Amino acid sequence: MTIRSGTTPAIALVVVGLACQEVGAALAVLLFPEVGPLGMVMLRLVFSAVLLFLIARPGLRGHTRDGWLAVLGFGLVLALMNALFYLALARLPLGVTVTIEVLGPLVLSIVASKRRSAWLWALLAFAGVVALAGGGWDRLDPLGVLFALGAAASWAFYILASARVGREFRGLDGLALAMTAGALIALPFGILTAGSALLRPDLLALGAAVAVLSSTIPYALELIALRRLPAAVFAILMSLSPATAALAGWLLLRQDLTLLEVCGIALVITASIGAVRASSRAAARQQEPLA
């Protein structure tokens, strides 16, 4: 894996995208007392869907039945992943929640590598989770951990569903339609949870800000960065999200972490980077011509 010259600005874009994403998550936590986690999910998905529709302007005709099924499945995964993430975030520190959530794509990367040595990274990630628990299960809400593990599984399905939609639709069309489907799924739960708070313009504006920070800006920056960075480098940078989340939680939400929890986050990040590199080497060997 090599890093081409002139990629520093692209790396900076990824880092800024990660920072925006975690600032958006921190802002969402501050809104939980007003609209609740499910109300926040609805606001994020609704405003993200509106923005994507304005940007992509997807056509509604000419799509196959398989295409629409892919969109509906992707929308369901989007709604479920965001709901489980915010439900976990209401009970756990931001850094811990994101660290557990990262286990989803980490396991997917390990399985995709099809190498027995890759499971060493799984053991390292498991050690990281044990270290997180070492802070005390009375500190880590068990239900919050279950929600975060559900979000991790949903993230793995998100990657698979996103790839399927990408094959069926051009550009951002599939994502815009799937985001709309996810928003419609989240709508009744959000209305029941948030109630009359949804009539407050200030909360709606903050909900739009969460959507822009958590979805629109990171996705746009990542899209630009992917054109200039090798996929493996991009994946390694994304593996740093638990660290940026922990930093955002500490700076914005005053969420302190124990030394064991910091070590757990570091172990999961190391496992993620190692799994990405192992998967990249395996893919490179498969592409090598036979002598």
The pLDDT assigned to 257 comes to 79
48/98 Cα distance (integer angstroms):
21
For residue 70, give the H/E element and its range: helix 65-89
The pLDDT assigned to 266 comes to 87
Burial of 133 (0-12, 13-18, 19+ CB in 10 A): middle
Evaluate if residue 47 carries a pLDDT over 90.
Answer: yes
Span 106-115, pLDDT tens digits: 777 777 666 6
Top-confidence residue, 18 or 129: 18
Top-confidence residue, 95 or 290: 95
* Rounded-to-5 percentages of helix, strand, coil across the chain: 85, 0, 15
Any idea what the Cα angle at residue 22 is, between residues 170 and 238, rounded to 5°? 55
The pLDDT assigned to 61 comes to 79
> Percentage of residues in the chain with pLDDT exceeding 70?
85
The pLDDT assigned to 285 comes to 57
| Position 168 confidence tier, pLDDT thresholds 50, 70, 90 | confident
DSSP string, 96-113: HHHHHHTHHHHHHHHHHH
118/272 Cα distance (integer angstroms):
10
The pLDDT assigned to 261 comes to 81
Span 174-198, pLDDT tens digits: 888 999 999 999 999 999 999 999 9
Q: What is the mean pLDDT of the chain?
A: 83
133/142 Cα distance (integer angstroms):
10
Q: Please give the model's pTM, rounded to 2 decimal places.
A: 0.83
Task: Give the number of other CB atoms < 10 A from CB of residue 14.
Answer: 22
